[in-house]
Structure 1
Amino acid sequence: MRKLVLQTDFGLVDGAVAAMYGVAYGVSPELDIHDLTHEIPPYDIFAASYRLYQTIQYWPAGTVFVSVVDPGVGSARRSVVARTASGHYVITPDNGTLTHLQHYLGLLAVRQIDEVKDALPGSLDSHTFHGRDVYAFNGARLASGLRDFSHLGEPISVDSLVQLPLGTVTTTAHSVAGTIDILDIRFGSLWTNIPRQAFTQLGIEAGDFMQVSIRQNGQLRYQNQMPFTQTFAAVAVGEPLIYINSLLNIGVAINQDSFSKLYHIGTGVDWEITLTQLAR
């Protein structure tokens, strides 16, 4: 019996998530079900992809993840189950949700789920709730051991999966640039795709100041000098800082305030951030 972890953009204001739980427990009352989040912004496939990457490696190998951010539900987009190099399983639409896992962790195998043959019995007249009728149902069968990965659909090429564009990281002798991938939502901090190694190669030490420039589609939206610190408390309340986040990437924050809201900074490959070393 594996753990089953659910992620959606459904929210908790109606019965959608509860219906997924009900279907899963109908497969096996002994299932151990958890929530990753149900607050992915509606239709935001990139955020769903990132949250899987943020979370999956901290769960035991064998855990089954069901991720449903599916603006193309009922269309020709495929339903798939993937086995990651870390030994986890993900059931999701083939719409880019596996982008970060494929790029950063690696996928060993992928199979296409038959949305007719492997659907919840009695559900075929509806085509708009595959989260319940295909993904939760098959996630529960896989997690409970009633269906083995090798018998859940037909194998397809990992390279055939839909991939979302990811930002690139570039370095010079005195700077590093990347993109703002996502927010630490509750606190409004900016999480970049710049890994710690690319940053520390500049020889930056705690307390050093850098110039931070943020552009959207090439247009400068923010520029300031701020220190690299190990903790938020290293600067006064309301002051900005650079830090290494929990995924060992570079983050930019304001102590006890929302950087994103204060300066109207968004996320995605259109938002580029450059950190430039200042003369000591």
Structure 2
Amino acid sequence: MSNNLLVLQSDFGLVDGAVSAMIGVALQESAELVVHHLTHDITPYNIFEGSYRLFQTVEYWPEGTTFVSVVDPGVGSKRRSVVALTEKNQYIVTPDNGTLSFIKKEVGIKAVREISEVANRRANTEHSYTFHGRDVYAYTGAKLASGHISFEEVGPLLKVEDIVEIPTVATLLGADFVKGSIDILDVRFGSLWTSVSRDEFYQLEPAFGDRFEVTIYNNDMLVYQNQVTYGKSFADVRIGQPLIYINSLYRVGLAINQGSFAKAYNIGVGSNWHIEIRKIAH
């Protein structure tokens, strides 16, 4: 089922040779592989972000594509190394540390196998404990992507329900408001991507051009409160004006037309960043 496509993600950055070493290991396994990059700019150690970027990307790749995601603050510890087979028949090679959370919830996982490091680890690297991205994940990913091993040969089957999941914030719906968290940024443009889905927001029966009171808290501290227009796209408001919109993942987003919302108001991400969107009575 593999198709020679290997897509790499990490928090390694491109300032040194780490990513290049992973590519080299993959191409040593098979020169036929086509290696692509999802991103290597995941915030260091941020498993949630790594999980989210996989969810943002995988469904746009063909069946049989193999993803390697290495955001691994627990490298060298007892955390398991796994390969997940998604409902869309793609492979994700990663530490079992929460990276699979969004894939399990939003895409679906058919099966998970623990990587047998006896069989599926680069030879003569058993004394290296800190670069599993190269020695275990890129290596196993390349073997899978090239068809040199089957999914069954990865290692023993695990229960899908036993994989580690990151806790997420449940949406709270009221008669005239919706509450959630700020999951992640559209980094380059500084827009906020919330945990509130389009369907949840639509229970407030919004119409384009409606205004909502948006309140953002960091824990209990009020960081932002303003009336914001709901628009179809950024051009629906003047340059410099804020906008509520539905992003490419069908989540509620918050942006400033041609500006960075995150920088303008010093907004961060994570479960301690709460957002409330409340209908304004006419």
TM tier relative to shorter chain: over 0.9
Provide the C-alpha distance between the structure 2 equivalents of 1:2 and 1:211, rounded to a whole number of angstroms: 49
Instruction: Tell me the equivalent position of 2:212.
Output: 210
| Kept in 1: contact 2:4–2:32 (CA 8 A) | no
Pairwise CA distance, 1:10: 0.4
After TM superposition, list the pairs within 5 Å mapping 1:1-280 onto structure 2: 1-280=3-282
| Kept in 1: contact 2:183–2:271 (CA 8 A) | yes
* Length, aligned pairs only: 280
Pairwise CA distance, 1:116: 3.3
Provide the C-alpha distance between the structure 2 equivalents of 1:101 and 1:218, rounded to a whole number of angstroms: 30
Provide the C-alpha distance between the structure 2 equivalents of 1:204 and 1:223, rounded to a whole number of angstroms: 19
Provide the C-alpha distance between the structure 1 equivalents of 2:168 and 2:106, rounded to a whole number of angstroms: 11
| Kept in 1: contact 2:113–2:154 (CA 8 A) | yes
TM-score (norm 2): 0.97
- Secondary structure (helix, strand or coil) at the match of 2:83 reads strand
- Secondary structure (helix, strand or coil) at the match of 2:138 reads helix
Pairwise CA distance, 1:49: 0.3
Pairwise CA distance, 1:163: 0.9
Q: Which runs of 4+ in 1 moved over 4 A?
A: none
State the Cα RMSD in Å: 0.9
| Kept in 2: contact 1:116–1:124 (CA 8 A) | no
Q: Deviations over 1:133-164 (max 9, x none)?
A: 00000000000000000111100111111111
- Secondary structure (helix, strand or coil) at the match of 1:104 reads helix
Pairwise CA distance, 1:219: 2.3
TM-score (norm 1): 0.98
5+ residue gaps, structure 1, are none
- Secondary structure (helix, strand or coil) at the match of 1:261 reads helix
Provide the C-alpha distance between the structure 2 equivalents of 1:241 and 1:63, rounded to a whole number of angstroms: 36
| Kept in 1: contact 2:85–2:111 (CA 8 A) | yes
- Secondary structure (helix, strand or coil) at the match of 1:167 reads coil
Pairwise CA distance, 1:218: 2.5
Identity of aligned residues (%): 54
